[in-house]
Each structure stands twice: as structure tokens, then as C-alpha cells.
Amino acid sequence: MADEKMMSQMSGKGGFIAALDQSGGSTPGALRLYGIADSDYNGDEEMFRLMHEMRVRIMTAPSFSGDKVIGAILFEKTMDGEAKGKPVPTYLWADRGVVPFLKVDKGLAAEENGAQVMKPMPDLDVLLARAAKKGIFGTKMRSVIANADKTGIAAVVKQQFEIGHQILGHGLVPIIEPEVSIKSPTKQEAEAILRDEIAQRLDAVPAGQKVMLKLTIPTVPDFYKPLVDHKAVARVVALSGGYSRADACEKLSHNHGMIASFSRALTEDLRVTMSDAEFDASLAKTIDEIYQASVVKA
């Protein structure tokens, strides 16, 4: 059973979710943006150590707190790491008031019918049990939709909800994330198919259980409002999907009930060479911008 205080915060408090879950494929790019070149480290172990240091710097910055950042999505190595001498999930909730989530997917399968389902997760039950013991509230898993193909979109949503029920079985709240590519030539049509597929699956969620949805900001403002209002949905969050932070925030501000869950858009102005004061000032400005887009609607 999900923690009631965390559920109350995630379903009702104003704010947004910080996505700090860059994995092996996206970490080099995130480090480059931060000012750490590929030549500055050797091998995955050193790469992930540098990424963890960046994430801890964000999480321990004075501006990073539950006042505006109500949740944070973690990479598995981050969940297993420490911040200020405490396990990261414990530190986030006890010291910062931020609800911890865990990215659980293992990446994407090859595209089929205009979409990419997730690769198999044979050790998921073991990971979920470990996450629950560490105080993780929920999980996140990502699929990608490139075209308005009903067969492909249906396959993505079916897999997302089947694994979502597995996650619910461990007392965790799944963030269902079927991302529609912002580069899709049929983005609006794909969103229409996706909304119908999700709505059907939500109707089958057992009474008393809730999921979260992480969706690309729709082409038509408030298009996902029926999902926001569904009784089985704790929250609908928006991914930035490659938009700049300014564009993502502007688009999000027209979607009532949706809050941000940004990754690159959160960290795009942070640099390793900044002093701690400069770092926190930059982060505070970004947090306020994303917070305003999440809670103040046009």
C-alpha cells in the first residue's frame, strides 16, 4: 500500500517532479551539457560516479525542496547511492520533503508499427521489492510512439498497464509513460488514439488503486483533461520531450491539471564550473519557472 502522506502530496500538492533518471544511453549527453566532456572520464563506472555527483549537487542545493519540487525520479544507481550520508530515497523524503520514484525500464525494443515497447524486465519483481524496502513511492517506465498507428499504440499501452499492475502489486504507484515523439508527423492523430487506449485501460484499474501518467504535452491544449479527471489517476505529468524549457513551460501552462516532470529542461543551465551559490541561484530560477508553468495556468 502506497504511503498516504506521499500519495496526498503527489495527488494534490502544487509543484512538479524532477526527472533525475538519465540512464546509460543519455548520461554522456547530460554530462556534456553540464560541462563534462567524454574525454574527462574513462568507462561507465567513472561516468556514473560523475553523474551521481551532479544529481547529489542538485538534490542537496537549498532551492531543491518539497515546496516546489514534490517528487524526483531516480536512476537505479542513484537509489542505491547516498546523499549527505543517507540513502538517497531517505534523504529526499526526510530532509527535503521530495517523494522518491524509481526508473525501472531497461530501454526500448526496436520500432514496430510506429512504436517502441519496452525491453523485457525479467528481474523486475526483485527490483520492486528492493525499491519498496528503500522507501521508494512509485516507478517510471518509458515507451515511445513515433506515428499514429493504432496497432503500435495499443501494444505500447497494453504493455505499460500490464507491468503497471505488477508494480501496483508491490504497493508502489506506477508512472505510465507512453511518450509521443514531438517529431512525429502525425503527433496530434497519435495523441487521439493514445487517449482512447489509456482511457480503456484506466477503466479496468481496480477500485482503490491509482496510477500516474507521464505524457508528451499535447498539440491541443487540455486534450488530456479527461485523463486528469479519471478516478484511477493520481496525477498527470508532462515530459519536456526535447522542447527547450521556455517552450515546454509555455505549452504546459495551457494544460490544466498537468504538472511538469522535466529532465533536460531542468538541468540545461547548470554547469560543473559554477560555484555552489551560482549553481543554486540558477537552479532556483529554473525551479521557479517550471513551478509557475505547473501551477499557474493560462
Residues with active-site annotation: 177, 214
Question: How far apart, in Å, are the Cα atoms of 186 and each of 182, 212, 237?
Answer: 9, 25, 22
Residues whose CB is less than 8 angstroms from the CB of residue 12 and which lie 6 or more positions away in sequence, other chains included: none
> Which has the closest alpha carbon to 256: 213, 212, 199, 297?
297
Question: How far apart, in Å, are the Cα atoms of 174 and each of 74, 197, 214?
Answer: 13, 17, 10
Residue type, 190: A
Residue 16: strand pairing partners: 69
Residues whose CB is less than 8 angstroms from the CB of residue 269 and which lie 6 or more positions away in sequence, other chains included: 282, 285, 286
